[in-house]
């Protein structure tokens, strides 16, 4: 039975610091998966950056915009960080994504590399589960104009610099004053990002089907400042009231030169990322495995 996906884009794990064995391992994995897809009747392309960094030149190469408009499936081979970057770029096109885990955690890249053929084959034939995940749309507003805009799949983080002293942040939700918080920073996390930085500061785990955001302070001065879950329809404003070298991070994108009076505006993006999971996939199975629950029981 041939694949229901005709035109498949491959995205690989690479970094400018990747060298030697790690880069060769990524290249071999990409080539192996590409050949497997060809055998299933798929036309395989690589995105431009993956081809350039891995040196694979036997497959057609497309720009990201071309992939979004011409392909009907994106297959990410790497870790969750790789998937985050691709997810942000492909969300506006509605391109469904599958993830083969070549990283460590694999919360959103859930096909094991060592057994990918057994898992991927029925998925290519149409046996999979579909899941849409929300994105955060963030802007930095200075003097009533936007000076920076970014999408985030995990979280938006405002934090102080490496010097001593806390940042003071004025927080509003839907135009209503919430509090002035003195802390090392503040995290606005999606359900996807609830297993990332937010979790390390005491934020709750959120099922990805929940329409909400976590707002979690980082080392707050007042211990009664606790994480809170907000509706995803909320618009959150974070104003820099005091603090030196305050920065904002949007997943892997950073803006380090915030000044007093800057406001970081966060709301739900109009786009969502579409994941395809193996049939029978369950979020709690993922949590149990990745969080090492029940070990030794």
Q: What does each of the 297 residues of the chain score in pLDDT, given as a tens digit?
A: 678 999 999 999 765 445 556 778 888 999 999 999 999 999 999 999 999 988 888 999 999 999 999 999 999 999 899 999 999 999 999 999 999 998 777 889 989 999 999 999 999 999 999 999 999 999 999 999 999 999 999 999 999 877 668 999 999 999 999 999 999 999 999 999 999 999 999 999 999 999 999 999 999 999 899 999 999 999 999 999 999 889 999 997 777 789 999 999 999 999 999 999 999 999 999 899 888 898 765
251 a catalytic residue: no
Residues 6+ apart with CB under 8 A from 114: none
Distance, in Å, from the CA atom of 204 to the CA atom of 230, rounded to the nearest integer, reads: 12
Contacts 24+ apart (CB under 8 A), 281-286: 281/110, 281/129, 283/207, 283/208, 286/107, 286/110
Strand 73-78 relative to strand 97-101, pairing: parallel
Tell me the backbone φ, ψ of residue 31, rounded to 5 degrees.
-65, -40
Catalytic choice (47, 80, 155, 262): 80
Distance, in Å, from the CA atom of 126 to the CA atom of 281, rounded to the nearest integer, reads: 14
Count CB-CB contacts under 10 A for residue 258.
22
Q: What share of the chain is helix, strand, coil (3-state, %, to 5)?
A: 25, 40, 35
Distance, in Å, from the CA atom of 87 to the CA atom of 75, rounded to the nearest integer, reads: 11
Distance, in Å, from the CA atom of 3 to the CA atom of 200, rounded to the nearest integer, reads: 41
Distance, in Å, from the CA atom of 105 to the CA atom of 166, rounded to the nearest integer, reads: 32
Q: Residues for the chain: how many in total? A: 297
What is the distance between the terminal CA atoms of the chain, rounded to a whole angstrom? Answer: 42
Q: Decide if 203 contacts 194 (C-beta within 8 A).
A: yes
Distance, in Å, from the CA atom of 192 to the CA atom of 196, rounded to the nearest integer, reads: 8
Q: Decide if 117 contacts 33 (C-beta within 8 A).
A: no
Strand 61-62 relative to strand 43-47, pairing: parallel
Domains of the chain: residue spans and CATH: 7-126 (3.40.50.10330), 136-270 (2.60.200.30)
Find, among 154, 156, 184, the residue nearest to 169 by Cα.
Answer: 184
């Amino acid at each position: 039975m041939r694949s229901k996906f005709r035109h498949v884009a491959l995205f690989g794990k690479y970094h400018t610091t990747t060298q030697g064995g790690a880069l060769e391992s990524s290249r071999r994995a990409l080539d192996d998966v590409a050949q497997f897809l060809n055998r299933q009747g798929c036309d395989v392309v690589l995105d431009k950056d993956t081809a350039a960094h891995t040196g694979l030149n036997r497959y057609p190469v497309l720009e990201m915009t071309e992939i979004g408009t011409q392909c009907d499936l994106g297959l990410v081979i790497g870790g969750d960080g790789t998937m985050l970057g691709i997810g942000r770029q492909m969300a506006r096109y509605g391109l469904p994504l599958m993830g083969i885990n070549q990283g460590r955690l694999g919360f959103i890249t859930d096909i094991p590399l060592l057994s990918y053929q057994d898992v991927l084959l029925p998925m290519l034939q149409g046996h999979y589960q579909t899941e849409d995940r929300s994105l955060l749309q963030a802007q930095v507003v200075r003097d009533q104009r936007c000076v920076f805009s970014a999408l985030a799949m995990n979280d938006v983080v405002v934090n102080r610099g490496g010097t001593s002293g806390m940042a003071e942040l004025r927080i509003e939700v839907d135009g209503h004053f919430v509090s002035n918080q003195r802390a090392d920073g503040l995290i606005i996390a999606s359900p996807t990002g609830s297993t990332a930085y937010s979790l390390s500061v005491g934020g709750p785990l959120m099922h990805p089907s929940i329409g909400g955001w976590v707002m979690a302070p980082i080392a707050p001065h007042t211990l009664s400042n606790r994480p809170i879950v907000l509706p995803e329809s909320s618009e959150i404003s974070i104003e820099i009231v005091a603090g030196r070298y305050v920065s904002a991070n949007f997943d892997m994108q950073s803006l380090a030169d915030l000044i007093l009076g800057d406001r970081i505006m966060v709301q739900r993006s109009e786009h969502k990322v579409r994941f395809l999971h193996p049939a029978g996939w369950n979020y709690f199975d993922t949590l149990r495995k990745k969080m090492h629950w029940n070990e030794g029981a």
